[in-house]
Amino acid sequence: MKFQRLITAIDVHAEGNPERVVTGGIPFIPGKTMLEKSKYVRDNLDHLRTLLVHEPRGHNNMYAALLTPPSDQRAHFGVIFMEPSGYATMCGHGTIAVSTVLVETGIIQPSEPETEILLDTPAGLVTASVQIANGKAISVTIENVPSFLYQEDVTIHVEGIGDISVDIAYGGNFYAILDADRLGLAIRQDQASRVIEVGQRIWRAVNEQIKVHHPEQQEIDCVNYVEFSTSSTNPKAHMKNAVVVPPAGMDRSPCGTGTSAKMATLYAKGQLALGEEFVHESIIGSLFCGRLLSETRVGGFQAVVPSIRGSAYITAFHRFVVDPEDPFQRGFCLGEPESPYSYGFGTS
């Protein structure tokens, strides 16, 4: 039997959200920065993304992370984050998953009680501190990229809904953040389809009516996700969220970059202090523990450096092959066609 390609990967979930960490079988990826490398994959090797995250090997809520040599030599590895609809500049649950894989498989030699890993992402350098006991990763705390409130209380018109107000914030990706209760949305598992449908409409409207540009990385130029906020149901949590991932997905975890964007928004509004614990609950009840470490500036924006703590668990080891006779060797996706806003760095 002859195969065109063999790709090795390890499946993980971080607080319920899946990540497929690709460890081998990927060609050389050129680029001076991780953002350039990610764009190269988008423009030249996108079939790898569709092969790995779309059906029949994946599904509409599968994520993947390609391990590469870093562009910044201070880092241990570079990471390119993939989704059903495109690419992300940063992924919090993905970083927790990658860090867990690196230490639990011995790719990075674990050192108890804590092993520090530096990852080079398209959004910048991210530090992950892996808490280890008896050789197992118990939890991972990531120090994310500087996060900030970009625009507050922006009014957009959404077809079938009317005028609504959203906050636009950056936590490694751009988010449109709004109160679920104002739209009569219940953040519950049995209401996920409804939340996704409304989130898709808001996502389209936001990107059609609002232009965003990261002040230091102009290629990051679209709102990636819609984040609904509501009161928590877990007494340990401060708030609950649901992050809609185009074209038809939803984060099962509380979303690392979404939690960072939410904390930056609360800080800008005087509702969260530096060093104050912020526990975020997901639609399935899993938790991330966040905290703002320090103030900084990003361009002209007041920003904060957030940390996120969560846990991940390895679920499978894969050897994916491509049969040249397979009519669906690059995968397929039911549902909406991809949008230019699907990519984590717009169309630049």
Catalytic residue among 91, 222, 289, 333: 91
- β-strand pairing of 277-281 with 249-250: unpaired
What pLDDT does 246 receive?
86
What pLDDT does 219 receive?
87
CATH code for the domain defined by 5-144+314-342: 3.10.310.10
Query: Residue 347 has which token pair?
Result: 């169309």
Strand partners, 308: 142, 290
Radius of gyration of the chain from its Cα atoms, rounded to whole angstroms: 19
The CA distance from 280 to 24, in Å, is 34
Task: Give the phi and the psi of residue 155 in degrees, each rounded to 5.
Answer: -90, 130
> How does pLDDT run across 72-113, given as a tens digit for each residue?
999 999 999 999 989 999 999 999 999 999 999 999 999 999
pTM of the model: 0.95
- Asked if 183 and 201 count as a contact pair (C-beta separation under 8 A), the reply is no
What pLDDT does 297 receive?
98
The CA distance from 295 to 303, in Å, is 6
What pLDDT does 215 receive?
96
Residue with tokens 């960072």: 260
Spans of all domains in the chain: 5-144+314-342, 148-307
What pLDDT does 338 receive?
57
What pLDDT does 218 receive?
86
- Asked if 95 and 126 count as a contact pair (C-beta separation under 8 A), the reply is yes
pLDDT < 70: residue spans in the chain? 1, 336-348
Strand partners, 168: 151, 176
What pLDDT does 347 receive?
38
Q: Do domains 5-144+314-342 and 148-307 have the same CATH topology?
A: yes
Q: Helix 46-53 vs helix 34-44: angle between axes, to the nearest 10 degrees?
A: 80
What pLDDT does 345 receive?
55
Catalytic residue among 222, 255, 289, 333: 255
- The yes-or-no answer on residue 255 being catalytic is yes
Find, among 119, 92, 127, 89, the residue nearest to 19 by Cα.
92
Question: What architecture does CATH give domain 148-307?
Answer: Roll (3.10)
